[in-house]
Amino acid sequence: MKKTLAILLSAFLVLPSTGFAGADGKQSNENAAGKQTVKSDKSEWSLVWSDEFNGPEIDRSKWTYDIGNWIVDEDGNGITSGWGNNEKEYYTDSSENAFIADGKLVIKAKKEHVTDQFGTYDYTSAKLKTKGLFSKKYGRYEIKAKLPTGKGLWPAIWMLPEEDKYGTWAASGEIDIVEAWGSKPNKVAGTIHYGEGWPNNKHTGKEFELPKNRGIDKWHTYALEWEPGELRWYVDGELYQTQNKWYSKGTDNAANFSYPAPFDQEFYLVMNLAVGGWFDGEVDETTKFPSQMEVDYVRVYDLKKRDYREAVEPVTGPVILPEDAKQPLEDGNLVYDQNYQKPVTIVDQPGVELDPMYWNFVNLPEFGGAGSLSVGDINGTNFAKTDIVNPGEQLYSLQMIQNISLANGGKYKVSFDAKSTAPRNIMVKAGAGASRGWVKYSNEVSFNLTSELKSYEFTFDMLNETDISSRLEFNLGGNGTNPVWIGNVRVEDITGAPVDVDGPKQPLPDGNHVYNGTFDQGDMDRLMFWNFSIDDAAAAASVSENARELHVAIEDGAENPEAVQLNQQGMYLVKGNDYKVTLKARADEPRTIQASLLNKDGTANYSGIITIELTSNMEEKTFEFTMPEDLTDPEAQIVFNLGDGNGNIYLDDVVLLKTSNIPDYGNIDLYPLKNGDFSNGLSSWGHYVHFDASAQIAPESGEVKMAIASEGNEAWSVLLEQSNLRLAKGVVYELSFAARSTQEREAEVTVENAQYHRYFSEVITLSDQMQQYTHQFKMPVDDAAAFKMLLGKNALSPVGIHDVFIDDVVLKVKDAPSQQEPEPVSVSTPGIDNGTFSEGITDWSAWWGDQWSGYGVGEMTAENEELKVEISQVGGAAYAPQVYQKGLLFENGASYTVEFDARADVPRKMNVNIGKELSNDPWFINYVPVQTVDLTSEMQTYSFTFIMNEETFDDGKIVFELGNILGGNAATNVFLDNVSITKN
C-alpha cells in the first residue's frame, strides 16, 4: 500500500502502479527462495503483541482510524485526494465498515454516497492503524486473512514509520506485508518503498502465486520476518522473498543515511480495503458490493532463542550481466550506436515495437506530442536533433529511448552532451518498461539546457532485479518547442568506484557547509566525509547505531591538542563573509577542545584557535569568524583538536553557515545596466516605435520622456530598452526603477534574450505619481539579455495621448556593495572589444530575424578563439541573421580602417555594415556603403577604409550580415576573427 500520511509537501502526488513482473511477466529474485520450499521456524519467536478479535467490538486501545478521502495538513486543509493513490472510497470509523463478527475483524467496502467539505464519494470503507498505540522495530508480523476479489478492490496489510526520521515518504520507508489485486485472485505481493522523498522514491518487491483452487478469498497466513538488514516474506509458512538492498536519503543530505536506514526504526501496522486507485484500476460492472476482507488475528513476535542478526552492508563489486543481455562495448558503454550511424526507429503509432538494440524516437499521438528527429554534425560529432512541433502535455510526449541492460547491485553513470536554442528543461531517467510496471531505476533527473553545448551526468544504484530490457529515456515533451540536440550518450558501470570525500564541496541545500554533521550518513561507521587521526596518542572514533553521535574514546591524549584530531576538508568559504559554527558537545569530565577553520594545507588560519569548554551535559557551542576581504578558499577545512587529555568526548550536529551575503562574483559585472539615471541622455539606451504606433522618446530634465500619441496594436509597439547586458548563471539580480504616466496605464517590464526568452517579466500599473518599483530574479544560465519597458498596447488601451517618465533604472547583483551606479566609460577609438574572441562571445550579440525579415535558425558561439556562427536556416532578408557590436565611437571627419578574418564551411557571401541604429524607419544610417565579401573555406583577411561624414556618435554599430544575400546565401558555419577598427 502506498504511503498516505507523511507526504504533506507532495501536493500533486502521482504514484505509479507497483511493478513486479519481469520481461516474461514474472520477476525473478536472486535473493528469494528458489523452487525448494523454505518454511519459517516459528519456534524461534515469542509473542509480544496480538489481537485475536475475540471481543464484541474493535479494541480502541489497539486500533485507530484514518477518516476521509483526502490527505490534509495540520490545519485540515486539503492537500491531495484519493490518499495520493487515486482511491475512490471514503474511510469511516463506522461499525458498518469495520466490526467484529464470529471472532474476526471485518473491513467492508460499501457502495454508498458520502459528502464532506472536499466533495462526494461513491464508496465507503475503513482503514485501521496502530499509530500512537503500538509500533515496533524488527520482529515477526503474522496475519491470517481472507481477501476479497473483484476488479478495483485493493486490500492491504502494511506498515509505516511511527516517526518520519529520514524525511517524507518514501525516504522514511514503507513495508507492505501483503497487497492483493482484486482482479488477480491468485496473486499477492510484498514490497518495500524507500529512497528519497516523492517523486524520487523507489520500490522493490515480488509476487507470490497462490494455488488455483485457493486464491486470496480463502484463508491464508501472511508473515513478515524483519531483522537488521533483512526482510523475509512468507505465505502459509513458505518463504518467497528476501530483501536486503535499499537506501534512504534526506533532502539536505550529502550522502545516503547509513544502512540499514530507513528500516531501522519503529513501524506501526495498517490494514485497509481501498476501492479504485492506481494499483488495480477502477471497479467495473463485475465488482460486487458490499465486499469485505476478514482478519482472524494479527500477531507480533520477538526473537527468543537467539539475537537478531547483525546488519551486513550490501557489498558493491563487479556485476555480471546474463549471457543474453546487451553487453557493454569495448569502451564500457552500455549504449550502442553512440554516433547515430544506424537508422533511428520511429515509434509514432500504437503497436510499433521499440528496436531492442539501437535508438528509438517515440511520439505517440495519444500523448499529444509531434516532432521529428534528424542527425547532424556538431564539431565533428553526430548529434540527434529533435525538432518539436507540439510538445504535448507530458514530459513523455516526445522521447528518445534506447534499451540497455542493467544488473542488480550495479552503480551506473549516465552522461551526455546537449543544447537547445534557448533555455529549456529535459528529463532523463533509467527505468523499466510496461512488463515491469514502468518502475523507476534512477531518479527522474531534470537538466536545464542552454544554447551552449554542455556536458551533463548523473549516477544511480540499480537495486531492482537485473533487467536486460531497461529503458534509457530522454523525455523531451511538455516543455515548449525549442529543439534539442543530444550526443555522446554513455551509460557506464562504475560499481565500486571511490568517492572523493575530501574534494571541494558546495553548501548543502539548507546552507550547511558541513557534510554529515549529524554522523548518520555514508557507510555503517557513519563517519563519511570526516577524517580522524592521532599523533603519538591512543584514541578511537566511532558512532553507535543508537546514539548516532561521534564518540572519541581517548586513552592517551598526549600533551598536545593536535595529537587527536578530527577534520573535514573541501569547504567553500567566500571572501569577506561572516560565518557561524554551531555544534553540540560534551565530555565525561570538564575539559576543553579546540576548533579552527584552516586552508587545505593548514598554513592559514581563518578563524583563529577557538577554545571550547565542555561539561558532562550535551550543550550547544557556537563561534563566529570572518573570511579575509581578498581571499576566497574553495578547499578550506574545519579542524577539531581533541588531544591533551583523556576520557570520552562526544560531538554532534556540526553546522557551518554563511551569515552574511557578500558575493564573490569574480569578473561578473555587479552593475550591468549603464546610464540608468539618464545623466548622459540616451547613451547606452535604445528605443523602438512600430509603424502602428506614434511616440517621441527623448531625455528631459534627467529623466527619459516617452510622449505617446498612440500605443499601437502590440505590447512592444513602443519600447525603451538597454541590450547586451551580460548576466551570469545562478546570480540573483535586483531590478529597480521609478516611473509615472500622465494617464493611468499598464506597462510590461522584461529582461529577455535575443530569442525573446524572458528571465523576468512583470506588468505594472503607472499613475501620475512617480513610484519606485523593485523586483528580483535569478538567472538560470549565462546569457546576454536586454532590459525592456514595453509601453504599447495594454489592458487599459486605448489610453489616449499621454507621457510616460522613467528614471533611476538600476540592474545590479543582489547585495552587491553599495556604490554609485558606475558612470558610462567613454569608448575610445578603435572601440572594438574582444575582437580576437579570447573572451568567448563577450561584447558580441546575434539577431536571428523577426516576422518581417523572416527567421534564421542557428547559434553564435566561440570556438578556438574564433567566433562561430552556426546557421541551419537563413531568414528572408540579407540581415537575418546577423552578428554585431555596438558602443563604437566614430568622430566626424576621421578616417577608419576596418579589418577582419573570415571563412565559411560552404562558400557564401557576407555583408558588412557600419552605421547608426535607429528606432524607426529607415532603421539604420550607413556611415559607409554596404561592403560585400565572398567567403571561402580558407580563412582570409578582408579590409576597407572609410571617412566618417556624419556627426560624431559614440554608439555606432558594426554588423556582419549572414542572411539571404543574393548569389551566396548558404546555411553553413561562418567563422570570424581579429576584428578591428583603426582610426587612421
Q: Which residue spans of the chain are classified as CATH 2.60.120.200?
A: 42-51+127-303
3-state secondary structure 478-537: CCCCCCEEEEEEEEEECCCCCCCCCCCECCCCCCCCCCCCCCCECCCCCCCCCEEEECCC
Task: List, in sequence order, every beta strand (DSSP E) within 515-599.
Answer: 531-534, 538-543, 550-556, 564-573, 578-587, 591-598
Cα–chain center distance at 135: 35
> How many CB atoms are located within 10 Å of the residue 393 CB?
11
Task: List, in sequence order, every beta strand (DSSP E) within 680-821.
Answer: 686-689, 694-700, 703-710, 718-727, 732-741, 745-753, 758-766, 771-778, 783-790, 802-813
Distance CA 594, CA 616 (A): 17
Q: Please count the CA atoms within 13 angstroms of the CA of 341 that sit on its side-chain side.
A: 6
The answer as to CATH 2.60.120.260 being correct for domain 531-658 is yes
Q: Side chain identity at 695, as an amino acid letter?
A: A
**Regions of the chain short of the pLDDT cut 50:** 2-36, 820-829
Q: Is the dihedral of CA 88, 92, 94, 100 positive or negative?
A: positive
Distance CA 693, CA 163 (A): 64
Contacting residues for 583 by C-beta, under 8 A, at least 6 apart: 517, 595, 620, 621, 651, 652, 653, 654, 655
CATH architecture, domain defined by 345-493: Sandwich (2.60)
Q: Is the N-terminal amide bond of 699 cis, ω within 30° of 0? A: no
Distance CA 51, CA 143 (A): 10
Please say whether the beta carbons of 735 and 772 come within 8 A: no
pLDDT of the residue at 828: 37
Please say whether the beta carbons of 49 and 133 come within 8 A: no
In terms of Cβ atoms closer than 10 Å to its own Cβ (0-12, 13-18, 19+), residue 736 is middle
Planar angle of CA 666, 668, 669, nearest 5 degrees? 130
DSSP one-letter code for 289: S
In terms of Cβ atoms closer than 10 Å to its own Cβ (0-12, 13-18, 19+), residue 869 is buried
Please say whether the beta carbons of 935 and 905 come within 8 A: no
pLDDT of the residue at 842: 87
Radius of gyration of the chain (CA): 34
pLDDT of the residue at 40: 66
Contacting residues for 149 by C-beta, under 8 A, at least 6 apart: 182, 183, 185, 215, 216, 217
Please say whether the beta carbons of 529 and 515 come within 8 A: yes
Query: Which cell is 814 given?
Result: 543582489
CATH architecture, domain defined by 42-51+127-303: Sandwich (2.60)
The answer as to CATH 2.60.120.260 being correct for domain 845-983 is yes
pLDDT of the residue at 16: 33
153: nearest Cα among 122, 113, 181, 134 = 181
DSSP 3-state of 857: strand
Tracing cell 480495503 back to the chain, one arrives at: 273
Please say whether the beta carbons of 850 and 877 come within 8 A: no
2: nearest Cα among 162, 179, 261, 164 = 179
Q: Which residue spans of the chain are classified as CATH 2.60.120.260?
A: 345-493, 531-658, 686-813, 845-983
Q: Dmax of the chain from CA atoms? A: 110
CATH architecture, domain defined by 686-813: Sandwich (2.60)
Distance CA 939, CA 931 (A): 18
Q: Buried b / exposed e across 25-56, counting CB within 10 Å, b at 16+? A: eebebeebbeeeeeebeeeebeeebebebeee
pLDDT of the residue at 829: 42
Please say whether the beta carbons of 848 and 943 come within 8 A: no
DSSP 3-state of 561: helix
pLDDT of the residue at 11: 32
DSSP 3-state of 101: strand
Q: Which residues are catalytic?
A: 174, 179
Query: Which cell is 44 given?
Result: 524461534
pLDDT of the residue at 450: 87
